[in-house]
């Protein structure tokens, strides 16, 4: 009869307690350690019996418990069945088992478990079993359990971590691609971070979804750190000067408004002079100054476009621009002019643009612990 707890319960705490009890029983704990330390993560029963101070019957019983719980499975290799000297049944983790072992920090002991196995003197039979042909574990399992030459598990554990938490997002594959690019480039907690705009070029990644969407997901699960450069939270940039004007925003906006109003007046003057030239031979009573009616009757002008934008009479445009918030008035006016195909904006004025500093990204300490 199995002595394993059923991995189910009335809530998450009860489930955690039962899983902990499942994994911590001495024989099961040793089995899992030796499976992780095995070069193929697929030892035979005889290999486990050689490595553990337990008899085969006790080991077999606990293998059944772990199998029934979905932590491991029996992987068969039919070509060995006709050989008396080679095992045909091997025990290794399932994908679910790897997730559980990761969650309970078993995978952090992979390098130690491997070193223990590699430094154990094997008998002739244990050596023969270790070298025997056997099936391959699913690729996702082997990727997660692989150890690199520096004794660290490779990126597979980070991939598992991300997939566990973001499996329901459309950009999950892009998230893996970007996280791996950071890892391969060595952009970790102690190194230089990169901006979003540098992601595609510097890291040479090809992704389907928007970089910002992918980065936000990786920040959300704690794989990437998002940091802002030192300085103001927002930069005010004058399009006219192409410079940062923090601390001088109102003054710069008023200067731009003066230039815009001058443009309107110049446009009115030119329109009025053109009308004079066309009617020079006709006697008429002349006004003492340029006529708004003449200008706006000669086609769409900056003044008429702004009058329409603000819902006011053309002759009120200049006074309206000088009232209210100068930045709001300026930016609305410039946007209306830029949106029109009938007039051309002067280079003497432009919007005041507010820009947040570009965030920079790098792998977190948590991500590096996984590898």
pLDDT in tens, 172-185: 999 999 998 888 88
Taking residues 340-346, what's their average pLDDT? 91
- CB–CB of 302/264 below 8 Å? yes
Q: Can you give the CATH number for the domain in which 161 is found?
A: 1.10.10.10
pLDDT in the model for residue 2: 46
Per the structure, the complete domain to which residue 195 belongs is given by: 155-231+358-371
Whether 281 maps to a domain, the answer reads no
Phi first, then psi: what are they for 76, rounded to 5°? -100, 150
CB contact set of 139 (below 8 Å; sequence gap of 6+): none
Whether 221 maps to a domain, the answer reads yes
Taking residues 214-235, what's their average pLDDT? 88
> What's the first-to-final CA gap in the chain, in angstroms?
39
Whether 284 maps to a domain, the answer reads no
What are the angstrom distances between the C-alpha of 257 and each of 110, 176, 237, 333, 370?
Answer: 68, 49, 15, 9, 56
Q: Is the pLDDT of residue 109 over 70?
A: yes
The domain boundary residue, chosen from 146, 171, 205: 146
Report d(CA 101, CA 119) in Å as an integer. 23
For residues 65 and 127, membership in a common domain is answered with: yes
Q: Is the pLDDT of residue 246 over 60?
A: yes
pLDDT in the model for residue 294: 44
104 confidence band (pLDDT: 50, 70, 90): confident
For residues 134 and 29, membership in a common domain is answered with: yes
The domain boundary residue, chosen from 146, 176, 194: 146
286 confidence band (pLDDT: 50, 70, 90): very low
Q: Mean pLDDT across the chain, nearest whole number?
A: 85
pLDDT in the model for residue 288: 43
For residues 159 and 123, membership in a common domain is answered with: no
List beta partners, residue 236.
Answer: 354
The domain boundary residue, chosen from 146, 175, 205: 146
Whether 285 maps to a domain, the answer reads no
Judged by average pLDDT, the poorest of 11-15, 268-272, 341-345 is 268-272
DSSP 354: E
- CB–CB of 269/326 below 8 Å? no
DSSP 107: G
**Domain tally, the chain:** 3
Q: How many CB atoms lie within 10 A of CB 138?
A: 14
For residues 20 and 93, membership in a common domain is answered with: yes
For residues 9 and 132, membership in a common domain is answered with: yes
- CB–CB of 355/211 below 8 Å? no
For residues 13 and 66, membership in a common domain is answered with: yes
- CB–CB of 218/224 below 8 Å? yes
Give the residue with greater pLDDT, 20 vs 251. 251
For residues 227 and 365, membership in a common domain is answered with: yes
Question: Would you list the DSSP string of 307-342?
Answer: HHHHTS-GGGHHHHHTSS-HHHHHHHHHHHHHH-SS
For residues 128 and 212, membership in a common domain is answered with: no
The number of residues in the chain equals 371
pLDDT in the model for residue 153: 52
pLDDT tens profile 17-30: 899 899 999 999 99
For residues 319 and 268, membership in a common domain is answered with: yes
For residues 95 and 167, membership in a common domain is answered with: no
User: What would the two tokens of residue 175 be?
Assistant: 């998230």
Place of tokens 């994994």: 23
pLDDT in the model for residue 1: 40
300 confidence band (pLDDT: 50, 70, 90): confident
Whether 282 maps to a domain, the answer reads no
Taking residues 275-300, what's their average pLDDT? 50
Q: Is the pLDDT of residue 136 over 60?
A: yes
């Amino acid at each position: 009869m199995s002595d394993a707890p059923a991995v189910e319960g009335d809530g998450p705490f009860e489930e955690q307690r039962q899983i902990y009890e499942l994994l911590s029983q001495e024989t099961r704990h040793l089995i899992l350690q030796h499976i992780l330390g095995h070069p193929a993560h697929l030892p035979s029963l005889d290999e486990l019996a050689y490595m553990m101070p337990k008899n085969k019957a006790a080991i077999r019983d606990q293998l059944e418990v772990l199998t029934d719980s979905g932590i491991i499975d029996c992987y068969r290799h039919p070509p060995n069945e006709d050989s008396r000297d080679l095992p045909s049944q091997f025990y290794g983790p399932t994908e679910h088992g790897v997730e559980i072992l990761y969650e309970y920090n078993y995978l952090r002991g992979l390098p130690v478990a491997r070193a223990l196995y590699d430094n154990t003197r094997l008998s002739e039979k244990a050596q023969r079993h270790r070298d025997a042909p056997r099936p391959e574990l699913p690729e996702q399992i082997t990727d997660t359990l692989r150890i690199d030459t520096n004794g660290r598990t490779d990126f597979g554990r980070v991939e598992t971590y991300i997939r566990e938490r973001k499996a329901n997002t459309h950009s999950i594959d892009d998230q893996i691609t970007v996280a791996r690019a950071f890892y391969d480039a060595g952009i970790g907690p102690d190194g230089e971070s990169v901006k979003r705009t540098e992601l595609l070029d510097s890291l040479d990644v090809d992704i389907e979804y928007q970089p910002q969407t992918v980065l936000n997901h990786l920040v959300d699960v704690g794989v990437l750190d998002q940091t802002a450069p030192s300085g103001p939270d927002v930069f005010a940039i004058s399009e006219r000067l192409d410079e940062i004007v923090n601390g001088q925003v109102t003054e710069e906006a008023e200067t731009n408004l003066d230039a815009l109003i001058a443009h309107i007046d110049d446009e009115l003057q030119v329109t009025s002079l053109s009308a004079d030239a066309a009617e020079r031979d006709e006697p008429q009573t002349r006004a003492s100054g340029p006529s708004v009616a003449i200008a706006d009757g000669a086609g769409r002008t900056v003044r008429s476009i702004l009058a329409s934008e603000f819902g006011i009479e053309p002759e009120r445009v200049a006074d309206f621009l000088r009232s209210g918030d100068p930045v709001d008035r300026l930016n609305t006016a410039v946007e209306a002019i830029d949106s029109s195909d009938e007039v051309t904006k002067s280079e003497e004025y432009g919007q005041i643009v507010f820009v947040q500093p570009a965030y920079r990204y790098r792998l977190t300490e948590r991500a590096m612990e996984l590898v």
